[in-house]
């Protein structure tokens, strides 16, 4: 929970958006809204609007928008809590600073500072005489000085308390060191000692440039070879990717995803500044979403061993789900990118990268491995699935080549296979056509969110969700209708989340307004929602509200049915058919 809702309500009421904005932008009235020159992008005609009735701003040029807190965050470059403090001061209000949110945020700030200081400490240690062995190890691995500096390599000395002592001198408490995962508490005597000892240290940095954890590698062959920081308040392994802070600035049109951070660092050194690595966990949905914000194409370069190949197979659908194009890079003669680069150099790797154009071959082989093709029944099933897979390749030559290959594997003629593929291809086309027609029925195609990560999976449902939100924002009393609508039935997570937050506020008798949701929504989400709210909603009635609820619930059921035949959905469908009298 963030600042107390009642406090935020008062803060927003006492800082009318039109007053706050006019301190930065000169506004003129046009209809119910105010217009001015956008302070966020250069322009000569006014496309920046403020809607006093809704207490939001929105720019039709650069599509920035939000409530008063967002505006201050953006224009004063402040964090959310600081923008709240800024506005509280403006209105002469006392900020309830002892809230859980503040203390958590303050704790995070302390831990970021602590990890930053720890990184500086490790770095100093590397260049002392005692750090010579670590320097040697780094050199032996082929890393040059430029890389050492760029990635902030360091050395954790061979001591139980060198870091503890240094950090205590800087004013950090033992508890903070525990919270940051830098030290370990002995179960026997309760004393704490340095987690990282006699290791070459690599700081893990988040997208905002904060050090959030460390990877430590041994200098010799002892074990464990790698030791990473544990999960902490600031280090969430599922939501971060190593080196994305650098890779997000790449000019390449792809990101290379590796298994280990050493691979990513090696790639950067050899000029592939688009490399990132997951942090010792299997690829997560969160990481896939994160990647899809920065690129359209991900190249997987996992290790060549069994575990790496399994990880590749698991990662492909997770990445594809976000709309990313996935390629798989196969390395012969080396187990990982790091070794490959050292053995064969950057040019050969570049070649591999270009050859990785698509994952067609890889997927066909993976499919093949699932079947015992000496058995007739398995061969039939393989052919069916292979035909479907090959039919999904967009390129005719590819369909030809891989169709032939699948035919060879299963021991049938290429012609017979071609027939199968063509049938599957036609089924696919007709499915696609139906889907397109369905989408075109609504004028919504052009209304997809600007931010890729927010795009709607189900446009029909999303349009109903948008309309429903516009209605409750104008007439919160509609919430009083008992409609059994649940946030998880929304097809768009951000619209569902907003619905839930507004409903919660309604139930607590608080203002139902977008302008008070800045702690629930990211700035990107807020921008999208202000755009949604800008659209006019001609129908505000209980009947229309019920219609939209029905559409959302219908689509939710449909989705469940088209996926695995979900038992609950099946039961509901049967119930619906029977009707209430049934
Ligand atoms: Zn603008």
pLDDT tens-digit series, residues 362-397 = 778 778 888 888 888 888 889 888 998 888 776 677
CATH architecture for the domain at 5-90: Alpha-Beta Complex (3.90)
* Ligand 1 center to 63 CA (angstroms): 6
The first and second tokens of residue 472, run together, are 């409750």
What's the CA-to-centroid distance between 49 and ligand 1, angstroms?
A: 9
Q: What's the CA-to-centroid distance between 135 and ligand 1, angstroms? A: 50
φ/ψ (deg, to 5) at 138: -65, -45
Query: Quick one: pLDDT at residue 214?
Result: 97
The residues spanned by each domain of the chain are 5-90, 102-235, 244-357, 363-440, 445-578
Distance 64 CA to ligand 1 centre (A): 6
CA 16 to ligand 1 centroid distance, Å: 20
36 Cα–ligand 1 center, Å = 10
Alpha carbon distance 416, 209 (integer Å)? 57
Give the pLDDT of residue 566. Answer: 47
Going by the DSSP 8-state scheme, the letter that residue 31 receives in this structure is T
Q: Distance between CA 293 and CA 452 in Å, rounded?
A: 6
* Residue 404 alpha carbon to ligand 1 centre in Å: 54
How much distance in Å is there from the Cα of 37 to the middle of ligand 1? 8
Number of CB atoms found within 10 A of residue 265's CB: 26
Q: Percent of the chain beyond pLDDT 70?
A: 90
pLDDT of amino acid 580:
40
Alpha-carbon radius of gyration of the chain: 28
pLDDT digits (tens, 9 = 90+) for 294-339: 788 899 998 888 888 888 888 988 888 777 888 888 888 888 899 9
CA 287 to ligand 1 centroid distance, Å: 30
Low-confidence ranges of the chain (pLDDT < 70): 1-2, 98-102, 104, 357-359, 394-395, 435-447, 450, 482, 536-539, 562-582
**Ligand 1 centroid to 42 CA: how many Å?**
7
> What is the spatial distance between Cα 313 and Cα 234, in angstroms, rounded to a whole number?
30
8 Å CB contact between 101 and 82: no
CA atoms of 90 and 85, how far apart (whole Å): 9
How many angstroms separate the alpha carbon of residue 60 from the centre of ligand 1? 7
CA–CA gap between residue 153 and residue 547 (Å, rounded): 59
Contact between 131 and 122 under an 8 Å Cβ cutoff? The reply is no
Cα-to-centroid distance, 40 and ligand 1 (Å):
5
State the distance from the centre of ligand 1 to the C-alpha of 104, rounded, in angstroms. Answer: 33
Residue 76 half-sphere exposure, CB side, CA atoms within 13 Å? 20
Q: Residue 513: phi, psi to the nearest 5? A: -150, 150
- Name the burial class of residue 554, with classes exposed (0-12), middle (13-18) and buried (19+) by CB atoms within 10 angstroms of its CB: middle
Dist. CA 56 → ligand 1 center (Å): 14
User: Are the CB atoms for 50 and 500 separated by under 8 Å?
Assistant: no
The answer to whether domain 445-578 has CATH 3.40.50.150 is no
CA distance 418 to 387: 8
Structure letter (DSSP) for residue 253: S
| 231: DSSP letter | P
Is residue 156 a contact partner of residue 163, using CB atoms and an 8 Å limit?
yes
Fold match between domain 5-90 and domain 244-357: no
Residues near 272 by beta carbon (within 8 Å), at least 6 away in sequence: 252, 256, 346, 349, 353
243 Ramachandran zone, left/alpha/beta (phi>0; psi -120 to 50): left
How far, in Å, from the CA of 47 to the mean position of ligand 1? 7
Q: What is the DSSP letter of 229?
A: P
Whole-number Å distance, alpha carbon 395 to ligand 1 midpoint, is 41
Residues 254, 241 contacting (CB under 8 angstroms): no
- Residues with beta carbon < 5 A to ion ligand 1? 38, 40-41, 59, 61-62
The model's pTM is 0.55
Residues 6+ apart with CB under 8 A from 443: none
Taking the centre of ligand 1 as the mean of its atom positions, its distance from the CA of residue 86, in whole angstroms, is: 23
pLDDT of amino acid 573: 53
Strand, helix or coil for residue 162: helix
- Chain-centre distance for alpha carbon 90: 35
Can you name the CATH fold of 244-357?
Dna Topoisomerase Vi A Subunit; Chain: A, domain 2 (3.40.1360)
C-alpha 193/C-alpha 26 separation (Å) is 59
Cα of 294 from ligand 1 centre, angstroms: 22
43 CA distance to ligand 1 middle (Å):
8
Question: 527 CA to middle of ligand 1, Å?
Answer: 11
Q: From the CA of 59, how far away is ligand 1's center (Å)?
A: 5
Check: CB of residue 11 under 8 Å from CB of residue 96. no
Residue 80 alpha carbon to ligand 1 centre in Å: 20
d(CA 542, CA 546): 6
CA–centroid distance, residue 50 to ligand 1 (Å): 12
Domain at 102-235, CATH homologous superfamily: DNA primase, catalytic core, N-terminal domain (3.90.980.10)
**The pLDDT of residue 430:** 79
């Amino acid at each position: 929970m963030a600042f107390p809702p009642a406090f935020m309500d008062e803060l927003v009421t006492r800082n009318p958006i039109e007053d706050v904005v006019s301190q930065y932008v000169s506004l003129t009235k046009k209809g119910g809204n105010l217009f001015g020159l956008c302070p966020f992008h250069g322009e000569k005609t006014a496309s920046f609007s403020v809607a006093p009735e809704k207490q939001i701003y929105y720019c039709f040029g650069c599509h920035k928008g939000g409530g008063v807190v967002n505006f201050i965050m953006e224009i004063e470059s402040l964090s959310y809590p600081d923008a709240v403090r800024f506005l509280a001061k403006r209105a002469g209000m006392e900020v309830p600073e002892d809230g859980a949110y503040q203390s958590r945020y303050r704790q995070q700030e302390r831990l970021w500072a602590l990890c930053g200081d720890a990184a500086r400490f490790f770095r100093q240690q590397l260049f002392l005489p005692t750090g010579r062995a670590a320097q040697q190890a780094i050199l032996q691995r082929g890393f040059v000085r430029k890389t050492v500096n760029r990635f902030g390599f360091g050395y954790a000395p061979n001591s139980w308390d060198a870091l503890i002592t240094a950090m205590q001198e800087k004013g950090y408490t033992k508890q903070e060191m525990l919270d940051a995962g830098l030290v370990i508490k002995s179960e026997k005597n309760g004393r704490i000692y340095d987690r990282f000892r006699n290791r070459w240290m690599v700081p893990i940095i988040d997208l905002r440039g904060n050090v959030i954890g460390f990877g430590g590698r041994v200098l010799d062959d002892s074990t464990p070879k790698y030791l990473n920081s544990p999960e902490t308040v600031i280090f969430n392994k599922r939501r971060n990717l190593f080196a994305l802070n650098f890779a997000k600035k790449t000019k390449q049109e792809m990101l290379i995803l590796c298994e280990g951070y050493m691979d990513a660092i090696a790639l950067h050194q050899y000029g592939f500044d688009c490399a990132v690595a997951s942090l010792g966990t299997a690829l997560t949905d969160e990481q896939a979403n994160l990647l899809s914000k920065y690129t359209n194409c991900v190249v997987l370069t996992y290790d060549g061993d069994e575990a790496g190949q399994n990880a590749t197979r698991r990662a492909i659908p997770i990445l594809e789900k976000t709309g990313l194009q996935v390629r798989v890079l196969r390395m012969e003669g080396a187990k990982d990118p790091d070794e490959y680069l050292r053995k064969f150099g950057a040019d050969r790797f570049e070649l591999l990268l270009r050859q990785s154009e698509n994952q067609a071959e890889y997927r066909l082989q993976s499919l093949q491995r699932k079947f015992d093709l000496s058995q007739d029944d398995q061969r039939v099933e393989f052919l069916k699935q292979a035909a479907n897979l090959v039919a999904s390749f967009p390129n005719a030559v590819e369909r030809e080549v891989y169709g032939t290959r699948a035919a060879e594997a299963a021991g049938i003629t290429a012609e017979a296979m071609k027939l199968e593929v063509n049938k599957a291809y036609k089924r696919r086309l007709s499915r696609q056509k139906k889907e397109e027609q369905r989408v075109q029925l609504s004028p919504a195609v052009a209304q997809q969110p600007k931010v890729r990560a927010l795009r709607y999976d189900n446009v029909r449902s999303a349009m109903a969700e948008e309309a429903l939100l516009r209605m409750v924002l104008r007439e919160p009393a509609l919430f009083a209708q008992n409609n059994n609508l649940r946030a998880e039935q929304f097809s768009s997570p951000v619209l569902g989340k907003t619905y839930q937050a507004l409903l919660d506020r309604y139930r607590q008798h608080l203002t139902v307004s977008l302008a008070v949701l800045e702690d629930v929504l990211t700035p990107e989400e807020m921008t999208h929602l202000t755009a949604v709210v800008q659209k006019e909603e001609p129908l505000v009635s209980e009947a229309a509200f019920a219609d939209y609820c029905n559409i959302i619930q219908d689509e939710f059921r449909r989705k469940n049915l088209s996926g695995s035949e979900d038992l609950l959905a099946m039961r509901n469908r049967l119930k619906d058919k029977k009707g209430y009298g049934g």
